[in-house]
Amino acid sequence: MSNQRAALAFIPILTLAAQVHAAAPAPAGDKAADYSHLLPLNVAANQAVVQLRLPRDVYLAARSPHLNDLRVFDAAGAPMPYALVDLAPQALVNRPSAPAAVFPVQGPAHDGVNVQEGLQIRTGSDGALISVTAPARAAGDELIGLVLDLQPAARAARVGAGAAIGALALTLPPATGNYNARLALDVSDDLQNWDEQAEATVSWLVNSQGASVQKHRIEFAPRAFRYARLRWLDGKPIEFAAIHAEYVVQREAGRPLETLVLQGVPGAEGRDLIYTAPVAIPVALLGLAFQGRNVVMPVQIGQYQAMPNRDPGARTVLKLQPLVNTTFFQLEQDGRRRASGDVAVPVTHAARWVVRPLNTVPERPALRLGWEPSTIVFVASGKAPYQLAFGRAGVRPAGVALHQVAPGFSERELMALAAATPGKVIVQNRLEQTMDGAARGPAGNKQVWLWALLVVGVVALAGMAWHLLRQLKGTSEPPPA
């Protein structure tokens, strides 16, 4: 009975130890020392909101597929709010201009508001205007309008025939002083059907010293057209010395692209090759790099998917889920190198890529991953300098919505944000080492003592149970070691 009472006495101790262990404080909070890598950031003193296109090193060392382990700390260790965004570069706009071919239209002065519809127009085989005349000429005919052929302007500006025009710039004849008029612009592609495009007032003012102020442009929403017609709504018609067509040519800005080349090892299935990749990379392009001069390799590229096996005790079946099914090659023909380009795929995060050649493998190619880096926008509200920390598994995302970081900023203002200047990446202790160090702290020491107490209690209970069992059986076997 004494042994039973002693065993019962240990139960509250074990219960208390378990409760204390459950209530033990968690490891130290979120701070820069908890991350494997730090990137120093220099920020201009007069900038409250700054941006940083994430460098390649961030994607190589981050431990989360969606960069959940990004943190921005100031010099005092305080976290700074940030948003992870994709700032697409704005399209580049070019505005070349060139003179159009101008053809004056003569007619009765009272028809000036509406240029006659029965004009006799001669064109060449390519549609170029040769002449524009009224159906019947009279001695009192005056200038009532101008017809423009935009093809010569497109050739001179070196733009395509379908390029959009956004304005016409007018040049007065020499020795012309002050001039004012209100004009209507009609456009057409076939000289038969006309659309009214714009109305505008033009004016030139010249003072006694020869200085001038002029409003000489007719602006409108960019549109592609072949022919134009100017009508005077007010003012005396004149034949301008030149009329320049101003084109609006937009060209998409090149997006930044990062690449990483991986070396493969043989896989478990047939000819498969396995490539280990940083899981944070948002892969958008896949390609193969060959060493040989003439290589043609049809392949499938994707990831394994574990399929359950119905046979008890049989190993799990791995099935390849391909993202790419194509032929990569590198050839040298007539002294020139010809090679396949990268293949676009849906953005994919994967820690392991599988390349399955569909024929005999002449060599083990390298796998090339391509991705577009994201941009981090953060508030520099703390003490400089700042640090971007990354490289820690199992943490929750700390990013917020963009409007909580840059409220009221337009897209143009976001694109123009000053960029933080990154320094050299600092590699700290690996996360496992950091967590071991935390375990050796005050909280870690308390947990060690608690576990020791639990082990001692379990051993004591085991000894007592054996002693009671021996008494019940009436044996005198020596206790086990």
**Average pLDDT rounded to a whole number, residues 6-16:** 44
User: Per-residue pLDDT for 459 more than 80?
Assistant: no
Using an 8 Å Cβ cutoff, are 61 and 67 in contact? no
Say if 447 falls within a structural domain.
yes
pLDDT at 434: 42
Of 200, 216, 251, the position where a domain reaches its end is 251
What's the CA gap between 56 and 59, in Å, rounded? 6
pLDDT at 253: 63
Say if 478 falls within a structural domain.
no
Which amino acid is present at 81? P
pLDDT tens digits, one per residue of 123-178: 666 666 666 655 555 566 788 889 999 988 998 999 987 899 999 999 999 888 88
Range of the domain at 185: 94-251
Query: Comparing 43-57, 84-98, 141-155, 376-390, which segment has the lowest mean pLDDT?
Result: 84-98
User: Per-residue pLDDT for 193 more than 90?
Assistant: no
What's the CA gap between 369 and 278, in Å, rounded? 10
Of 205, 227, 251, the position where a domain reaches its end is 251
What's the CA gap between 478 and 481, in Å, rounded? 9
User: Per-residue pLDDT for 19 more than 80?
Assistant: no
pLDDT at 13: 43
Do 217 and 360 belong to one domain?
A: no
Using 50, 70 and 90 to split pLDDT, how confident is the model at 14?
very low
Q: Which residues contact 375 (CB under 8 A, 6 or more apart)?
A: 51, 52, 53, 54, 84, 85, 86, 87
Do 205 and 320 belong to one domain?
A: no
Do 263 and 338 belong to one domain?
A: yes
Say if 433 falls within a structural domain.
no
**Average pLDDT rounded to a whole number, residues 372-380:** 94
191 vs 403 pLDDT, higher one: 403
pLDDT tens digits, one per residue of 106-118: 877 665 445 555 5
Distances (CA, A) of 134 to 32, 100, 105, 110, 212: 82, 21, 7, 14, 36
Using 50, 70 and 90 to split pLDDT, how confident is the model at 426?
very high
Using 50, 70 and 90 to split pLDDT, how confident is the model at 317?
confident
Which residue is associated with the tokens 């608690």?
Answer: 450
361 vs 66 pLDDT, higher one: 66
Using 50, 70 and 90 to split pLDDT, how confident is the model at 16?
very low
User: Per-residue pLDDT for 11 more than 70?
Assistant: no
386 vs 6 pLDDT, higher one: 386
Query: Comparing 91-105, 123-137, 197-211, 295-309, which segment has the lowest mean pLDDT?
Result: 123-137
Which amino acid is present at 369? L
pLDDT at 28: 47
Using 50, 70 and 90 to split pLDDT, how confident is the model at 439?
very low
Q: What's the burial of 310, exposed, middle or buried (CB within 10 Å: 0-12/13-18/19+)?
A: exposed
Do 245 and 118 belong to one domain?
A: yes
User: Per-residue pLDDT for 237 more than 80?
Assistant: yes
User: Per-residue pLDDT for 49 more than 60?
Assistant: yes
**Average pLDDT rounded to a whole number, residues 415-423:** 91
**Average pLDDT rounded to a whole number, residues 22-39:** 70
Would you mind telling me the total number of residues written for the chain in this entry?
481
Do 457 and 393 belong to one domain?
A: no
Do 10 and 44 belong to one domain?
A: no
Do 241 and 105 belong to one domain?
A: yes
Do 62 and 191 belong to one domain?
A: no
pLDDT at 270: 83
User: Per-residue pLDDT for 288 more than 80?
Assistant: yes
pLDDT at 3: 46
Count structural domains, the chain.
Answer: 4
pLDDT at 225: 93
Of 224, 251, 278, the position where a domain reaches its end is 251
User: Per-residue pLDDT for 476 more than 70?
Assistant: no
* Mean predicted lDDT score pLDDT of the chain: 82
Say if 354 falls within a structural domain.
yes
What's the CA gap between 327 and 297, in Å, rounded? 6
Do 160 and 231 belong to one domain?
A: yes
Say if 432 falls within a structural domain.
no
Sheet containing strand 273-276, edge to edge, reads 265-266, 273-276, 352-357, 295-307, 317-333, 336-339
What's the CA gap between 281 and 101, in Å, rounded? 55
CATH of the domain at 180: 2.60.120.260
pLDDT tens digits, one per residue of 195-233: 999 999 999 988 777 677 889 999 999 999 999 999 999
The alpha carbons of the chain give a radius of gyration, in whole angstroms, of 39
pLDDT at 254: 66
Do 241 and 147 belong to one domain?
A: yes
Using 50, 70 and 90 to split pLDDT, how confident is the model at 280?
very high
pLDDT at 18: 42
Do 244 and 142 belong to one domain?
A: yes
Say if 223 falls within a structural domain.
yes
Do 314 and 461 belong to one domain?
A: no
